[in-house]
Amino acid sequence: MNYGDADPIAALATPPGESALAVIRISGNAAVTRLSDVFSRPKALREAPGNTVIYGWILEDRRKIDETLISVYRAPRSYTGEDSADISCHGGIAAVRGVLRVLRTAGFRDALPGEFTFRAFMNRKLDLTKAESVMELVSAKSDKGRERAVGRLSGQLEQEIQGIKSLATEVLAGAELFLDYSEDEFSADSDEAAGHLPQRSLAEAVLARLDALAASYTMERLYQAGALAVLAGRPNAGKSSLFNLLLKEDRAIVADKPGTTRDWIEAWISLEGLPIRLADTAGLRDAEDEIERLGVDRTRSLAEEADVILYVIDGLQGFTPEDRAFFQEHPDRVIGIWNKIDAAPRPENLCAGSPYKILGVSAKTGAGIPELSGAVIPLLTKSSSSASGPGIASERQKVLLEKARGCIREALALADQGQPLDVIAPALREAVNALGEITGEVSAPDILEVMFRKFCVGK
């Protein structure tokens, strides 16, 4: 089985398990006709126009397998650009298996990961930025991540890349136009002979827009992949209580006995639209118990991986040398949390002369939580641009964008050095090609296969 053929394919498009309904998707050559061969109303299905729904039964040797609704889509006005259909059947495991078994006997093969979206790309229904946004939308962990993915699916990134590519092509065309003339048509000291880059201002505009897009990557990845925030601190400081408060449910065991948390647990939360993987960890101390010591080691290891560390200080115990040592070990990623301000208000001089941010909160009453959210977001996004315009969200897009940026910078540097246009033009051409690869105008089959194999089956 390979990507790129037009065989009729089928796949479950909803999660396997027990549910009221499941959707099985089909597409490919004569897909609707093949389906009609195992349908209780074959003529109605074969003659059904696009964007209609047909009721009937899936049959196997004239036996009813399941009651279904068939949503029919006709080429080219379908997701894949081929004749296709969505079969809405009952969501039981046996029902889904039965329908898929019948489809295989009717000539459908199991779809490869991402094969429906691959066909949509090959049939020019989507460019590669839109294709990638499909899985970004499927895996979005927050409303803001969903909004950003919808923007790319709507064509915002494609339009921006095409606009930049159009300007870069204009610069390249200007350079190649001069290359079409013989050298003796220019005087030895003319701008063209000396390596002057025609339409240099356009090349600089291209670089500025590429810089803006490149700066969006960190923020977009935060919206898509989320950030790791680790709750750390001494035993009994209130980490688990704070974890439950932020999560709005009792997930972590809370007890007065120090060392209750032996291992770390995690859950997803959303802070101002950013998905955060919040981890509650074992208290940091010199543990004598072997299991607790392993938990402390895991806490320190997880803290090294964290994007931000929320270090919880027991307000009743005060700021200890151990607390200060932890802050010094992690100067750039730690936010101090003076917990239990309902019983022990934070001293006013605690942060005097200190570079560390220490906020007062109460895991018992919820006091100070809005201020904590307001401190976490700037720390995570301090090196990122705002996400108001189009942004790049995949490593593939980032690599190609950096390649285009480097080529434009090289072209401008060569012009500054007085190099001739036949030396400058290849760098411009490479930049244009890299931009074309982002949208898929220029692509290699092996690269496409690697990309789409990361998709889920059914998409």
User: Which amino acid would we find at residue 198?
Assistant: P
Name all domains of the chain by residue range, CATH numbers in brackets.
9-127 (3.30.1360.120), 156-216+390-440 (1.20.120.430), 231-272+279-381 (3.40.50.300)
- Residue 143 tokens read as 């409303």
pLDDT in single tens digits along all 459 residues of the chain: 578 888 999 999 999 989 999 999 999 999 999 999 999 999 999 999 999 999 999 999 999 999 999 999 999 999 999 999 999 999 999 999 999 999 999 999 999 999 999 999 999 999 999 999 998 998 888 888 899 999 999 999 999 999 999 999 999 888 888 776 645 454 444 444 445 787 889 999 999 999 999 999 988 888 888 888 889 888 888 888 888 888 876 644 444 444 444 457 888 888 877 888 888 887 776 555 655 567 676 877 788 888 888 999 888 888 888 888 888 887 778 888 899 888 888 776 666 556 677 888 888 888 988 888 888 888 887 655 555 688 998 999 999 999 999 999 999 999 999 888 889 999 999 999 999 999 988 776 767 777 788 888 888
How far apart are alpha carbons 294 and 355 in whole angstroms? 31
Q: Do 208 and 384 meet the contact criterion of CB atoms below 8 Å apart?
A: no
DSSP character string of 67-98: EEEEEEE-TTSSSSSSSEEEEEEE-SHHHHHH
Q: Where are the alpha helices (DSSP H) in 41-199?
A: 42-46, 93-105, 115-122, 128-138, 143-153, 156-179
The pLDDT score that the predictor gives to residue 7 is 93
Q: How far is CA 116 from CA 5, 99, 289, in A?
A: 11, 19, 54
How far apart are alpha carbons 83 and 43 in whole angstroms? 16
The pLDDT score that the predictor gives to residue 274 is 85
How far apart are alpha carbons 235 and 281 in whole angstroms? 10
Quote the pTM value: 0.77
How far apart are alpha carbons 200 and 77 in whole angstroms? 43
How far apart are alpha carbons 337 and 458 in whole angstroms? 45
Q: Could you tell me whether strands 63-73 and 52-60 are parallel, antiparallel, or unpaired per DSSP bridges?
A: antiparallel
Angle at 288 between CA 283 and CA 294, to 5 degrees: 55
